[in-house]
């Protein structure tokens, strides 16, 4: 392990800066847009019925209710556009953040969005009238956030570039308790990887800034889930799933380029935080043989995301995040035709997990709205092919953060909101 020669303030400040931005985007609200058919209704009613292999992940209790073994593969293209706009009254006068050269106020950083692919595979097999099993592999959260003009971005101390991916492999069992009620059990095992870069503020008003990079961060962790599916009446189906907390710690390498111009070798580092527990409930009500109304209510325990821990042999720190629990509400409709087509549409809403004074530029998440549509075609062989699309608006994500520069004590602050903050998910699925 190399001897670290730079002053302690950059080490501890940078540890906190990394802790502030690194896992926050990872801990953004769980993603459920992985190309499965229920995405076409914004997830409304997804776990109330067993219709395809995606039930192995969404609600394993439904596996035993399938009529035969099912498999499904999905692909999704994720297109995001994320544009920050500073408060005009603050951007042009002190104590606004200067650009990296200290010559003028920092700007908006350009579009931090990107285009990235994702996908999932599912398999579900009822063994007999009592038992079933399944397995799934999906990406439950992910981020590719890279500001176009990172050196002039007002929020560069929170993050300039973040590449994060988590993939969950979930083996599951299903047990029929009675003709109308079944239970499910799962063991989600999550693999996470992360690479990220952030600016290190200069200690004095003049002089160069530094950079900090965490690369090759990775972790494998596991949690549990329990679920239920209940046919409450010939027309009404209900479902629920509870998933426990998942503690993750990204072990990687930290490299500094300090404001003084010094550089470090790679230093072992550990960034730890909590994916919270969540409770999701679903309902599907058949108005007639063709039309079903779908609904979802969910709770996510984001108050467990109270701090982030980061440590190296040189020291460590903890940063309070102070997020709130969130609620999710969704409603949709499914329409079956006389022919091979099934159509879905739905809308969903998530409450805001934080406040402007606690929000940071790596986590441009506010209250969220989703609008989705989908179509599924049943082939003569019984195989199904589907197309789904979701437009997600992540809100204006206002930021009102203040602070002081290290050593000098001079003030700096970031105030503004995201004029564009949306993601489009375009998915394709094939089930057999």
Q: What is the DSSP string of 318-371?
A: EEE-----EEEEEEEEEEE-SSSEEEEEEEEEE---S-TTT--TT----SEEEE
- Helical (H) or strand (E) element with 311: strand 307-312
Residue 402 three-state SS: strand
- Whether the per-residue pLDDT at 359 is higher than 60: the answer is yes
Split at pLDDT 50, 70, 90, the class of 109 is: confident
Of these ranges, 77-81, 255-259, 292-296, the one predicted with the greatest mean pLDDT is 292-296
- Whether the per-residue pLDDT at 42 is higher than 80: the answer is yes
- What does the pLDDT average to over 127-142? 88
Contacts of 288 (CB under 8 A, 6+ apart): none
Closest residue by Cα to residue 49 from 207, 296, 238: 238
Q: What is the pLDDT of residues 309-341, one digit of tens each?
A: 555 555 555 555 678 899 999 999 999 999 999
- Whether the per-residue pLDDT at 25 is higher than 90: the answer is no
Looking at residue 24, its pLDDT comes to: 33
Domains and CATH numbers, the chain: 8-431 (2.40.160.60)
Looking at residue 117, its pLDDT comes to: 86
Residue 131 three-state SS: strand
Supply the DSSP symbol for 32.
Answer: -
- What does the pLDDT average to over 160-178? 89
Looking at residue 236, its pLDDT comes to: 98
3-state helix/strand/coil string of the chain: CCCCCCCHHHHHHHHHHHHHHHHHHHCCCCCCCCCCHHHHHCCCCCCCCCCCCCHHHHCHHHHHHCCCCEEEEEEEEEEEEEEEEECHHHHCCCCECECCCCCCECECCCECCCEEEEEEEEEEEECCCCEEEEEEEEEEEEEEEECCCHHHECCCCCCCEEEEEEEEEEEEEEEEEECCEEEEEECCEEEEEEEEEEEECCCCCCCCCEEEEEEEEEEEEECCEEEEEEECCCCEEEEEEEECCEEEEEEEEEEEECCCCCECCCEEEEEEEEECCEEEEEEEEECCCCEEEEEEEEEECHHHCCEEEEEECCEEEEEECCCCCEEEEEEEEEEECCCCEEEEEEEEEECCCCCCCCCCCCCCCCCEEEEEEEEEEECCCCCEEEEEEEEEECCCCCEEEEEECCCCCCEEEEEEEEEEEEEEEEEEEEEC
pTM for the whole structure: 0.86
Split at pLDDT 50, 70, 90, the class of 173 is: very high
- What does the pLDDT average to over 74-98? 78
Distance CA 114, CA 31 (A): 16
């Amino acid at each position: 392990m190399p001897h670290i020669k730079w002053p302690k303030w950059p080490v501890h400040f940078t540890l906190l800066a990394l802790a502030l931005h690194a896992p926050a985007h990872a801990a953004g609200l769980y993603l459920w847009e992985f190309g499965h058919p229920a995405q076409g209704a914004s997830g409304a009613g997804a776990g109330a019925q067993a219709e395809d292999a995606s039930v192995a992940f969404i609600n394993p209790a439904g596996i035993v209710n399938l009529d035969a073994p099912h498999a499904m593969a999905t692909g999704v293209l994720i297109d995001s556009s994320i544009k920050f706009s500073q408060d005009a009254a603050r951007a042009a006068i002190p104590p606004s953040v200067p650009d990296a050269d200290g010559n003028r106020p920092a700007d908006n950083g350009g579009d931090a969005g990107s285009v990235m692919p994702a996908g999932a595979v599912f398999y579900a097999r009822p063994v007999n009238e009592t038992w079933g099993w399944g397995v799934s592999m999906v990406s439950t959260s992910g981020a590719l956030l890279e500001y176009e003009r990172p050196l002039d971005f007002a929020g560069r101390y929170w993050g300039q570039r973040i590449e994060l991916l988590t993939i969950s492999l979930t083996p599951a069992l299903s047990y029929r308790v009675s003709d109308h009620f079944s239970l499910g059990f799962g063991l989600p095992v999550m693999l996470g990887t992360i690479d990220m870069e952030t600016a290190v503020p200069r200690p004095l008003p003049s002089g160069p800034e530094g950079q900090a990079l965490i690369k090759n961060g990775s972790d494998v962790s596991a949690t549990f889930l329990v679920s239920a599916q209940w046919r409450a009446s010939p027309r009404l189906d209900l479902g629920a799933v509870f998933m426990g907390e998942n503690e993750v710690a990204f072990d990687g390498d930290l490299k500094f380029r300090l404001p003084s111009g010094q550089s470090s070798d790679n230093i072992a580092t550990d960034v730890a935080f909590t994916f919270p527990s969540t409770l999701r409930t679903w309902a599907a009500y058949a108005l007639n043989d063709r039309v079903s109304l779908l609904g979802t209510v969910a709770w996510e325990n984001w108050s467990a995301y109270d701090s982030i821990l980061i440590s190296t042999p040189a020291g460590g720190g903890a940063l309070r995040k102070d997020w709130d629990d969130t609620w999710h509400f969704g409603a949709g409709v499914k329409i079956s035709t006389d022919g091979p087509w099934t159509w879905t549409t739905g809308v969903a809403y998530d409450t805001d997990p934080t406040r402007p004074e606690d929000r940071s530029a790596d986590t441009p998440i506010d209250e969220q709205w989703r609008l989705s549509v989908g179509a599924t075609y049943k082939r003569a062989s019984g195989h199904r092919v589907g197309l789904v699309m979701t437009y997600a608006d992540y809100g204006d994500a206002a930021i009102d953060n203040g602070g002081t520069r290290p050593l000098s004590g001079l003030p700096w602050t970031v105030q503004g909101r995201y004029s564009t903050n949306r993601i489009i998910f375009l998915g394709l699925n094939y089930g057999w």
